[in-house]
Structure 1
Amino acid sequence: MSIKILMYATAVCPYCVRAEALLRRKGVTEIEKIRIDLDPAQRDHMMAITGLRTVPQIFIGGTHVGGCDDLYALDHAGKLDTLLAGS
């Protein structure tokens, strides 16, 4: 897959691990992770662009998907594959 996946995450977040596992099962091989636990300025940036404080915050091809539950809901609704395909 060539669509860009960006995930704001922390090292010990179980929701981050779960979201990444779903993306990997969907064939995603590259996820750009921004570790907000290592760089507090990145948390501030994440909050500024999403309005949210929790991780993960996932962007697929520039579209803000939301967190882990949002990602799974998108998959359950049958829309994740389309988004990952860039359509």
Structure 2
Amino acid sequence: MVADTDPVSSSNPVYVYMFRTSLLLLVSLSKASRHSQLYSVNRYHPKGFLHTSASRMAKQFVEDKIASNKVVVFSKTYCPFCTMAKQSIRDAGLQDFAVVEIEDRNDCSAIQDMLNSMTGARSVPRVFIGGKCVGGGTDVQQLQKSGKLVGLLKDAGAL
């Protein structure tokens, strides 16, 4: 349990209970009142991203995947934009690249939070070539259609 203060009024304590998939915030409405209000928050603290061991592990996982692969796609199997990105990479001539399907992972949400903090977008796909994010499905498709994707893949040593 972590004690903090209410973002609206610094005089009210906020207690954070961490569970496997979410946080519960117990907010005391006033010092004079013994009543509290319970909020369920999905891995977020009222003052910003709450750094948990899960988020640290997700950060390490994402950074390791990017560092150890010339091309990596963070994806979900059922996502049509993910399929578009993977097919665009194949169409550019690269058949062997890292794909991380995240939807069945326990840390899926933490991985997407980390991708958001790294790239400014939480959605998948997130495609990294040579350690740099080149965008999502539509971005990769446009790069492939313009002929720029092959150059990026060659510059990264993937082709």
TM-score category by the smaller chain?
0.7 to 0.9
Say if 2:112 and 2:123, in contact at 8 Å, map to a contact too: no
Which residue of structure 2 aligns with residue 29 of structure 1? 95
Point out the more displaced range, 30-39 or 68-77. 30-39
Which residue of structure 2 aligns with residue 10 of structure 1? 76
Point out the more displaced range, 50-59 or 29-38. 29-38
Name the Cα RMSD after superposition: 1.7
Bigger share in helix: 1
Which residue of structure 2 aligns with residue 40 of structure 1? 109
Say if 1:34 and 1:42, in contact at 8 Å, map to a contact too: no
Using the alignment, how far apart are the partners of 1:31 and 1:41 within structure 2?
23
Using the alignment, how far apart are the partners of 1:44 and 1:35 within structure 2?
15
Using the alignment, how far apart are the partners of 1:72 and 1:9 within structure 2?
15
Which residue of structure 2 aligns with residue 78 of structure 1? 147
Using the alignment, how far apart are the partners of 1:48 and 1:32 within structure 2?
21
Q: What's the TM-score, normalizing by structure 1?
A: 0.83
4+ long deviations beyond 6 Å: none
Gaps of 5+ in 1: none
Identify the structure with bigger relative contact order (alpha carbons < 8 Å, sequence gap 6+): 1
Gaps of 5+ in 2: 1-68
Question: How far 1:66 moved relative to its partner?
Answer: 0.2
Question: How far 1:59 moved relative to its partner?
Answer: 0.7
Identity %: 34
Q: What's the TM-score, normalizing by structure 2?
A: 0.48
Question: How far 1:34 moved relative to its partner?
Answer: 2.4
Distance 1:26 1:86, change over 3 A: same
- Report the AA paired with residue 49 of structure 1: M
